[in-house]
Amino acid sequence: MDIPVSAWTSELFGSEEKARIVRDRIGQGLVDMQANAQTSHVEAAVSSTQVHGVARYRGGYERVSAALKSIPGAELVKPNGFQFDLVRVGNALLYPFCFSKKDSNVRTAKIQNVWSVIRELFAFAPPSQQADIFGEYEFDPSSVELRPKLAALPKDTRLVLVPFACNAAGLLKPYWGVAALANDSGSLDWIIDPEPLPLPASPTPKLGIPQQQTEHPGFDEGEQPIVALAPRPQADRKRDVTPTTEAPPTEPLVNEDDEN
């Protein structure tokens, strides 16, 4: 079943077709992330889920950026001091993050660690509409000083969040939407309600390693070479001439006159 894209995504990405491509590629990247993380967890053969957590954390950025970077017009953005690439497509800067390890309401999602780069990313989000009892806002995106690579982005860039719930058992709920950072504790004020992302049925196939031959025959077990045999002339056979198996020896020359 083809799920239509929302008007806000068509506007941000430039067209309905590109919005659909971006949405589907994000879903594929997240499925690939989870498949890799689960494989790492199984192969580690440990009871802890830390291996899955590390692979999931890195894969949330790396697999999504790998899925999106080939889209025409896509731009990789690696903020100074940040170890992963983000992707800007159209006017949207995409930021994936895991908001829960269980089936939770995405509207309660929070940013776990609001450090300097996160604050700067939310400078590309709308201002929060949640004021405190004094009518003031805890986070003002216009007051954030951007590091060079973020400052170089076009002013019409809009931060699009891609929150997902995930654990070692499965990828639960991926979404995308636009939210403001309400405060330094990571609370979000959703300006555009988070929408579920459709997911593909299977991860991207990986290139396999060709089957390698593990057993090799010994030196004396190989095929014997075929030696071509030259038949004796018929005249030698009739005269009963002894077969010659080696070339006759050549007498050394004593001087140059012996050659004539």
Q: What is the pLDDT of residue 214?
A: 60
Report how far residue 102's alpha carbon sits from residue 169's, in angstroms, rounded to the nearest whole number: 10
Residue-wise DSSP of 158-213: EEEEEEEEEETTEEEEEEEEEEEE-STT-BEEEEEEEEEPP--SSPPPPPPPPPPP
Evaluate whether 197 touches 26 at the Cβ level (below 8 Å): yes
* Other CB atoms within 10 Å distance of the CB of residue 122: 24
Closest alpha carbon to 106 in 18, 169, 195: 195
Cα 203 from chain centroid?
Answer: 11
Q: What is the pLDDT of residue 3?
A: 83
The mean pLDDT values, 10 residues at a time, for the chain of 260 residues are 88 96 97 92 81 90 97 97 97 97 94 95 91 66 93 97 94 95 93 95 72 62 66 73 66 60
Query: In sequence order, what are the beta bridge partners of 110?
Result: 187
Q: What is the pLDDT of residue 247?
A: 61
Residue reference for tokens 């992707």: 87
129: left (phi over 0), alpha (psi -120 to 50) or beta: alpha
The per-residue pLDDT for range 179-193, each reduced to its tens digit, is: 999 998 999 999 999
Beta strands 92-100 and 158-167, pairing class: parallel
Residue reference for tokens 């889209």: 71
CA torsion 69-163-161-87 (nearest 10°) is -10
pTM of the model: 0.76
Q: What is the pLDDT of residue 219?
A: 60
The per-residue pLDDT for range 126-169, each reduced to its tens digit, is: 988 876 655 566 788 888 999 999 999 999 999 999 999 999 88
